[in-house]
Amino acid sequence: MTIVILVLFSIGLVLNLMGIRTLRNEYVCAAVCLDTMKVPNGIKELVELPSAGVFHQHLKDLAAIAKHDKNLSQDGLISLLYSQLMAKSRMVDVLSGVLVTLGLIGTVVGLISMTAGLNETLSSLDDSQDASGLLSGMRDTMSGLSTAFYTTLIGAFLGSVALRVLNNVYTSNVEHLVSYIASTAEVRIVPLLKSAKRVKVDA
């Protein structure tokens, strides 16, 4: 059971670290997009290019909305973006709960095995009247009990502490990125798209 807990923790750890790394890369992609916007027809070029990140995709979605909606709003897109980025966080959160549950299951299994072993030890004592056999059996039983509680400790620590802390770091990064995208788009992109729309209407 401990091996299963460690494997699941490793999966959750890898997912979390990959997610954080991806979020860091999104800032680089956003910076490249903002630099491209500084050149003439920069937004038009970005809209025509394949999506290179969530910021770029957000820009393309805003441009698509601006074509048929003069009251350009990004609220719906931001909500969808947040839900999309938080999907990985929910997966890690599920793994965290599974680790704790597996730790408890390991303890129950250990206690059941301990009880069965104790019964066998007492039965053998009735047959042989040898106290050394009882001591040996009790030693094995207590060893199994310590292993059972050790499994619970591992599952609780890795699930409730380690993974949750890492998941909170990822969630914090998601909130910062979404806030950055929303504020940057509101200040830098939405006004440009609205002005371009007005120019076309006037023309």
What mean pLDDT is reported for the chain?
A: 82
Distance of CA 88 to the CA centre of its chain: 4
**Structure confidence by residue, pLDDT tens digits, 130-184:** 556 566 666 666 666 777 788 888 888 988 888 999 999 999 999 999 999 999 9
Q: What pLDDT, on the 0 to 100 scale, is given for residue 197?
A: 59
Phi-psi region of 129 (alpha: psi -120 to 50; beta: other; left: phi over 0): left
Q: What pLDDT, on the 0 to 100 scale, is given for residue 175?
A: 93
Q: What pLDDT, on the 0 to 100 scale, is given for residue 134?
A: 60
Q: Rounded distance, CA 190 to CA 75, Å?
A: 12
Query: For residues 81 and 54, is the Cβ–Cβ distance under 8 A?
Result: yes
**Structure confidence by residue, pLDDT tens digits, 43-58:** 888 888 888 889 999 9
pLDDT-above-90 percentage for the chain: 20
Q: What pLDDT, on the 0 to 100 scale, is given for residue 201?
A: 40
Q: What pLDDT, on the 0 to 100 scale, is given for residue 203?
A: 42
Query: For residues 172 and 153, is the Cβ–Cβ distance under 8 A?
Result: no
Q: Rounded distance, CA 42 to CA 39, Å?
A: 5
The predicted model gives 59-79 an average pLDDT of 85
Closest CA to 168 of 104, 79, 96, 84: 96
pLDDT-above-70 percentage for the chain: 82
Show Cβ contacts of residue 98 under 8 Å, excluding neighbours closer than 6 positions.
Answer: 8, 159
Q: Rounded distance, CA 63 to CA 76, Å?
A: 14
Query: For residues 76 and 52, is the Cβ–Cβ distance under 8 A?
Result: no
Confidence label for 103 from pLDDT (cuts 50, 70 and 90): confident
Q: What pLDDT, on the 0 to 100 scale, is given for residue 5?
A: 87
The predicted model gives 103-107 an average pLDDT of 84
Domain ranges for the chain: 1-200
